[in-house]
């Protein structure tokens, strides 16, 4: 009898244990998801503030009692006159009524939803009421910023520098990574370690000699110092591409060799087509970096306003129009449109390249 009861209790015990385990798993997933959402919100708050401020005029920005989104006090026209709408506490809840008769302890309101009901007498001080707001964005900041910043010229300059540098980075980094991943070069490991060691070299250490060199060869005040160095491979990009190339099966190289392909042909026809995700990631990384770079253009293009990039031009614009944050935010928002579009169009390939998991055989 006791054995029979124990057998009946065992499934119930397993069921309760399974339910408890499912609860723990759910709580773990919920905690991780909540933490991820909090981090995402924290990162997106500056962008949200930029978007909201870009669609506000100076009156809305100066209104400290207004909401964070573009809005202005609501109004209602009654018998040919315009009145401000307030949030009035009533017996049935908060009501949005227009103040038509101001009094010290008693005021008259009109319900915009039912103006035919006449004046509503409300006991209280109307100065303590909060005005009701309506969503009212404005796009005037964008054409003003576009014209004041000379945006087309800055956008063209930045795009040319970023695109040329990206092409140079992809060509040089691909060639170096291919050599380190596929060829048995004497001292290959030492060369790779020396290349990786350059990552920890601060930019400030090489700034002065690099600047002196470019000035000595007559490249001061030109785009060449911002473009040509990227045609000599970057250690970080070489590392990413080398790791990806090493994941490509060597059997593909051997099959191409049997068909008469040389090393260059293998790179073009085998390695590059298999490495589109990694190349996309490297290209986007460099393009975004070049698009946002401020220090190098400031140093090498000083005094050449016709050659300025967006980062330098927007900084000068913010210094001049700091009392008009709406225009500054509108200019910043226009500056990030192109990188955002590029990222979303190449998002799938970009994420695959970041993971660097190799290819399927």
Residue 82 forms beta bridges with which residues?
Answer: 77
pLDDT at 243 over 90: no
pLDDT at 292 over 80: yes
- pLDDT at res. 360: 42
CA distance 32 to 287: 32
CA distance 72 to 70: 7
- pLDDT tens digits, 112-167: 888 888 888 888 888 888 888 888 888 888 888 888 888 889 999 999 999 999 99
pLDDT at 59 over 70: yes
CA distance 283 to 237: 9
- pLDDT at res. 69: 86
Average pLDDT, the chain: 83
- Phi and psi, residue 54, nearest 5°: -65, -25
- Torsion (CA) 123, 124, 130, 132 in degrees, nearest 10: 10
Q: Count of alpha carbons within 13 Å of 236, Cβ hemisphere only?
A: 11
Mean pLDDT confidence for 214-239: 89
Return the structure tokens found at 210.
């690099």
- pLDDT at res. 7: 45
- pLDDT tens digits, 293-323: 888 898 898 888 888 998 888 888 888 777 7
Instruction: Categorize the per-residue pLDDT at 331 as very low, low, confident or very high, splitting at 50, 70 and 90.
Output: confident
pLDDT at 9 over 80: no
Mean pLDDT confidence for 239-259: 85
Where do the domains of the chain lie, and which CATH numbers do they carry?
A: 71-135 (no CATH), 142-355 (1.10.3720.10)
Q: What percent of the chain has pLDDT over 70?
A: 91
The model's pTM: 0.76
Mean pLDDT confidence for 215-236: 89
- H, E, C per residue of 178-223: HHHHHCCCCCHHHHHHHHHHHHHCCHHHHHHHHHHHHHHCCCCCCC
Q: Please measure the distance between the N-terminal and C-terminal CA atoms of the chain and give it in whole angstroms.
A: 61
- pLDDT tens digits, 10-26: 555 556 667 777 788 88
Q: What percent of the chain has pLDDT over 90?
A: 9
CA distance 309 to 35: 37
Instruction: Categorize the per-residue pLDDT at 270 as very low, low, confident or very high, splitting at 50, 70 and 90.
Output: confident
Return the structure tokens found at 46.
């500056």
Residue 144: which of 337, 333, 327, 314 has the closest Cα? 327
Instruction: Categorize the per-residue pLDDT at 171 as very low, low, confident or very high, splitting at 50, 70 and 90.
Output: very high
- pLDDT at res. 4: 53
Return the structure tokens found at 132.
């009701």
pLDDT at 110 over 60: yes
Pinpoint the alpha helices (H) of the chain.
Answer: 2-54, 58-62, 141-148, 151-182, 188-197, 203-216, 224-227, 235-246, 250-258, 263-266, 272-274, 276-292, 295-300, 310-320, 325-335, 337-345, 347-355
- pLDDT at res. 231: 92
Instruction: Categorize the per-residue pLDDT at 354 as very low, low, confident or very high, splitting at 50, 70 and 90.
Output: low
């Amino acid at each position: 009898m006791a054995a029979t009861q124990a057998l009946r209790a065992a499934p119930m015990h397993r069921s309760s244990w399974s339910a408890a385990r499912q609860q723990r798993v759910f709580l773990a997933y919920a905690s991780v998801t909540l933490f991820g959402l909090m981090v995402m919100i924290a990162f997106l708050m500056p962008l949200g503030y930029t978007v909201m401020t870009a669609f506000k005029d100076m009156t809305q920005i100066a209104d400290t009692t207004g909401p964070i989104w573009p809005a202005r006090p609501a109004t209602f026209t009654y018998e040919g006159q315009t009145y401000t709408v307030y949030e009035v506490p009533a017996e049935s809840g908060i009501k949005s009524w227009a103040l038509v008769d101001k009094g010290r302890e008693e005021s008259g309101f009109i319900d915009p939803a039912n103006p035919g009901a006449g004046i509503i007498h409300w006991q209280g001080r109307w100065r303590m009421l909060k005005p009701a707001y309506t969503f009212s964005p404005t796009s005037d900041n964008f054409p003003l910023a576009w014209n004041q910043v000379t945006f087309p010229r800055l956008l063209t300059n930045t795009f040319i520098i970023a695109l040329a540098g990206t092409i140079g980075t992809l060509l040089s980094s691909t060639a170096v990574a291919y050599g380190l991943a596929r060829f048995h070069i004497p001292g290959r490991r030492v060369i790779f370690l020396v290349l990786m060691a350059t990552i920890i070299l601060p930019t400030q250490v090489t700034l002065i000699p690099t600047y002196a060199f470019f000035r000595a060869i007559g490249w001061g005040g030109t785009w060449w110092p911002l473009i040509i160095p990227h045609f000599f491979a970057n250690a970080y990009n070489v590392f990413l591409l080398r790791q990806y190339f090493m994941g490509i099966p060597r059997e593909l190289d051997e099959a191409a060799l049997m068909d008469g392909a040389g090393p260059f042909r293998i790179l073009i026809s085998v390695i590059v087509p298999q490495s589109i995700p990694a190349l996309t990631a490297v290209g986007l990384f460099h393009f975004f970096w070049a698009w946002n770079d401020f220090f190098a253009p400031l140093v090498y293009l000083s005094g050449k306003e016709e050659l300025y990039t967006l980062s330098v031009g927007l900084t000068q614009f913010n210094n001049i129009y700091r009392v008009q944050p709406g225009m500054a935010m509108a200019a910043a928002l226009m500056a990030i449109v192109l990188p955002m579009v590029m990222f979303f169009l190449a998002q799938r390939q970009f994420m695959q390249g970041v993971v660097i998991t190799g290819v399927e055989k």
